[in-house]
Amino acid sequence: MADLTTDVRYIKGIGEKKALALHKLGVFTLYDLISFFPRKYDDRTQYRPIAQAMDGESVCIRAVVADTPRLAHIRRGMDLVKLRAVDDSGIVDITYFNQSYVKDNLQRGESYVFFGRMEVKGSRRSMVNPVYEQEGKENGVTGRIVPIYRMSAGLNQRAILQAVRQGLDLCGDQLPDVLPERVRSACELVQARYAYENIHFPADFGALELARRRLIFEELFVLACALGRMRGERVREGGIPIAEAALDDFWKTLPFSPTGAQRRAVEQAVNDLKSGAVMNRLVQGDVGSGKTLVAAALIWYVHQSGKMSAFMAPTEILAEQHYHTLSGMLTPLGLRVGKLTGAMSAKEKREVKSALKNGELDLIIGTHALFSQDVEYQNLALVVTDEQHRFGVGQRSALIGKGRKPHVLVMSATPIPRTLALIIYGDLDVSVIDELPPGRQKVDTFAVNESYRQRLNGFVEKLCAEGRQVFVVCPMVEENEELPTPLKSAEEHAKELAAAFPHLRVACVHGKMKPKDKDAVMSAFVAGETDILVSTTVIEVGVDVPNAALMIVENAERFGLSQLHQLRGRVGRGQHKSWCILVSDADTEEVKARLSIMTKTNDGFRISEEDLRLRGPGDFFGARQHGLPAMHVADLGADAQTLQRAQAEATKLLADDPGLNKTENRPLRERVERLFSESADSFN
Ligand code: ADP
Ligand code: MG
């Protein structure tokens, strides 16, 4: 007896070779087979009398083969079968290319259903390579909605379709319903058996929709349960104990009061620290929302318990800036603050390392140098990583591995819609700083095209004469990329600008430069030694240049909204009125709509939601580094509402049965565990 775990080779028609081809598609068992959902569907439900089929229409016709099919070799490697079919209304000439076997399969005088695209030229009607079935013996390729599957060499659609049909017949009834009955009925979803049948062989489009709805929900629900369970398990791990401290003592030292959002984020984190469990918290806040202060408060808090913190920045220059800010804030409060970066001399590094080893520092700020093999910590209780998307997951955990499970605070300036954040940072709790410090000026944003170049140059001239500095960002140009409109590469553009502004100091920084050279150019700009900095998006991270008042983005159409928003956040950080100019010659409606959102709002979360709506989740899920399992039917961007619902239901269920141990949740648990094991190496 076959069951869901049976090898696909059990299926009639699937031999060694086809099985291997199926393996390539990730199909090994019967369960995999029936979970191998179609890529799309062909609507073959429309029947027409031959004479009524219109030119270009894809239709089914019922027709009798009127003559004996003729085989002709036209040239080497090319033959064709020609025949004529008729019904009461008319005649159609049918041609098959390179399918000589058709000659013997189609019998003169027999009645068939043909599905194909009708061509009409004058009074002549013809079809090329239509699929066919003998009338009354249809087995699934005509007269219905036909599934189209992803393919690999050695397979064809008919083989997959027939295999899936057998798979469903053999063990469709054994499918356990992973959705608990309560969830299924609360969300008005169809049963598993119905869904799996109709996702492959929909009775009609209504049934297909019901099946899809259920399976999308199921997929997101399983994912949400998996991540939720992971969070739940983590919480049970004991964290380094941190004693209660009076935060007000810290707030009092500031020249300003923290925003409500900053307070909330700190309180949430403090609750984690006091809970006895390990903190794993993401603080998400728009550029300039004051995340550094949140980190400072927690570093101070941990220090009150006599423990030390490490603060990891993605670049030398950011480490330098954070060192400056944080030591300014914390040294007066008695914390001993050090830094460790690759640029330091060997002697300096040695000294810092020995200080760390001897517990003579309360805070260390640095780049990835912080987790080199030879760095030893004493009492490390808190690890803060800034702009975490810049760090590989491995780097983050390398530092975490240094102490005995220190608390972790991750700060990200990429606003992500909340539902998506829960998924991407599945193992992290999320705090959102959704409020900017008071008195922040808005960066005026304009979208312009090349015809404004002259005026734009005049503006650059004027600002620089006033002593301001200018950022210019060009898109990254992939080599051998063929594009309809020429892109400005950072280097070329810098040359043009240097020629256009002979009296201004123009510098260029791009991704292909050595980190050291990059930092040198950046530092010169920070120090005010250059007027215009042309770059690729390498400056996206939180470098602070309060004197920069203008951000120009070339080929702005090439950037995602969230990215543009990040870039814009590089200006308006000082007391100077600031501008962002998006230059684009692309004039599609889509581009115009996107850029116009930038001119209308400065709210990073609104922008990221629009971005998600317009471009899907790809931008947030860069290069699969999120480590999520691939989705089969769901689309994390497009199905945001379902995702939210699935998450809510998963939370409810896990509150009731955290380990998914109840009998009725067993099928769900199996699926959840399989999801983990399938993607074990890609998970955080
Ligand atoms: P980001 O979230 O982008 O890292 P920062 O932490 O760099 O933001 O803060 C941006 C600026 O806002 C800094 O100059 C900081 O001193 C200032 N700032 C932070 N919090 C407040 C506040 N509550 N009131 C006024 N200014 C603040
Ligand atoms: Mg920052």
Q: Tens digits of per-residue pLDDT, 505-554?
A: 999 988 778 878 888 898 899 999 999 999 987 555 557 788 999 999 99
Instruction: Provide the pLDDT for residue 142.
Output: 86
Q: How confident is the model at residue 234 (pLDDT cuts 50, 70, 90)?
A: low
Centre of ligand 2 to C-alpha 388, Å, is 11
pLDDT for the residue 659: 87
Judge residue 231's burial from the number of C-beta atoms within 10 Å of its C-beta, 0-12 exposed, 13-18 middle, 19 or more buried: middle
Under DSSP, is residue 473 helix (H, G, I), strand (E, B) or coil?
Answer: strand
| Ligand 1 mean position, distance from CA 612 (Å) | 27
Structure tokens at 178: 């992973």
User: Nearest 5°: phi and psi at 27?
Assistant: -105, 115
Nearest ligand 1 atom to alpha carbon 325: 16
CB proximity list for 184: less than 8 A, separation 6 or greater? 177, 191
Whole-number percent of the chain with pLDDT over 90: 53
Q: How confident is the model at residue 70 (pLDDT cuts 50, 70, 90)?
A: very high
pLDDT at res. 681: 37
Cα 486 to ligand 2 centre (Å): 34
Q: Tens of pLDDT along 410-421?
A: 888 776 666 666
| Span 480-502, average pLDDT | 78
CA–CA dist 200, 166 (Å, integer): 12
**Cα distance between residue 106 and residue 649, in whole Å:** 54
Q: Tokens 């399969």 map to which residue?
A: 105
Residue 485: pLDDT band (50, 70, 90) is low
Pocket residues: Cβ below 6 A from ligand 1: 256, 258-259, 262, 285, 287-293, 413, 437, 542
Which residue lies with its CA nearest to atom 27 of ligand 1?
437
Per-residue pLDDT at 573 exceeds 50: yes
Q: Please answer whether residues 152 and 127 qualify as being in contact, where contact means their C-beta atoms are separated by less than 8 angstroms.
A: no
State the first-to-last Cα distance of the chain, in angstroms, to the nearest integer: 39
Burial class of residue 146, CB neighbours in 10 A (0-12, 13-18, 19+): buried
Closest CA to 627 of 399, 411, 428, 415: 428
Residue to mutate, 251, 253, 256, ligand 1, most ligand atoms under 8 Å from C-beta: 256
User: Which atom of ligand 1 has the smallest separation from the CA of 259?
Assistant: 23
Binned at pLDDT 50, 70 and 90, residue 143 comes out as confident
Query: For 309, phi and psi rounded to 5 degrees?
Result: -125, 155
Pocket test for ligand 1, best of 254, 286, 293, 326 (most atoms within 8 A of CB): 293
* Ligand 1 centroid distance, CA of 440 (Å): 10
Q: How far is CA 204 from CA 41, 167, 210, 478, 599, in A?
A: 11, 21, 10, 45, 45
- CA dihedral for 59, 62, 66, 70, sign (positive or negative): positive
pLDDT of 680 reads 40
239 DSSP assignment? P
210, 70 in Cβ contact below 8 A?
Answer: no
Q: Higher pLDDT residue, 544 or 151?
A: 151
Name which residue leads in pLDDT, 268 or 629: 268
Which of the four pLDDT bands, split at 50, 70 and 90, describes residue 684?
very low
Q: What is the pLDDT of residue 628?
A: 59
DSSP 3-state of 583: strand
pLDDT of residue 626: 44
Whether 477 shows a pLDDT value over 80: the answer reads: no
Per DSSP, the residues of 498-511 read HHH-TTS-EEEE-T
Q: Which of 140-144, 153-157, 547-551, 611-615 has the highest mean pLDDT?
A: 547-551
Cα Rg of the chain (Å, integer): 32
Residue located nearest, by CA, to atom 18 of ligand 1: 290
Which of the ligands is closest to the CA of residue 266?
1
| pLDDT attached to residue 327 | 95
Between 53 and 620, where is the model more confident? 53
Residue 623: pLDDT band (50, 70, 90) is: very low
DSSP codes joined into one string, 535-579 = ESGGGGS----TTEEEEEETTGGGS-HHHHHHHHTTSS-SSS--E
Where is average pLDDT lowest: 236-245, 581-590, 675-684?
675-684
8 A C-beta contact, residue 601 and residue 570: no
pLDDT band at 176 (very low <50, low <70, confident <90, very high): confident
| Side chain identity, residue 269 | A
Q: What is the pLDDT of residues 183-205, one digit of tens each?
A: 999 999 999 999 999 999 998 99
Degrees, nearest 5: CA angle 275-278-283: 95
In the prediction, which pLDDT does 394 show? 46
User: For 6-17, what is the mean pLDDT?
Assistant: 91
Q: Give the C-alpha separation, 367 to 606, whole Å.
A: 31
In terms of Cβ atoms closer than 10 Å to its own Cβ (0-12, 13-18, 19+), residue 82 is middle
Over residues 673-677, the mean pLDDT reads: 75
Could you give all domains of the chain from N- to C-terminal order, each with its CATH number? 1-42+151-174 (1.10.150), 46-143 (2.40.50.140), 178-236+650-684 (no CATH), 247-433 (3.40.50.300), 444-601 (3.40.50.300)
**pLDDT attached to residue 642:** 86
- In the predicted structure, residue 453 carries a pLDDT above the cut 50: yes
Residue 227 tokens read as 């991540």
**What distance in angstroms lies between residue 616's CA and the mean position of ligand 2's atoms?**
26
Q: How far is CA 321 from its chain centroid?
A: 30
Q: Label residues 92-131 b or e (16+ Cβ within 10 Å = b).
A: bebbbeeeeebbeebeeeeebbbbbebbeeeeebbbebbb
Which residues on adjacent β-strands are paired with residue 364? Answer: 310, 338
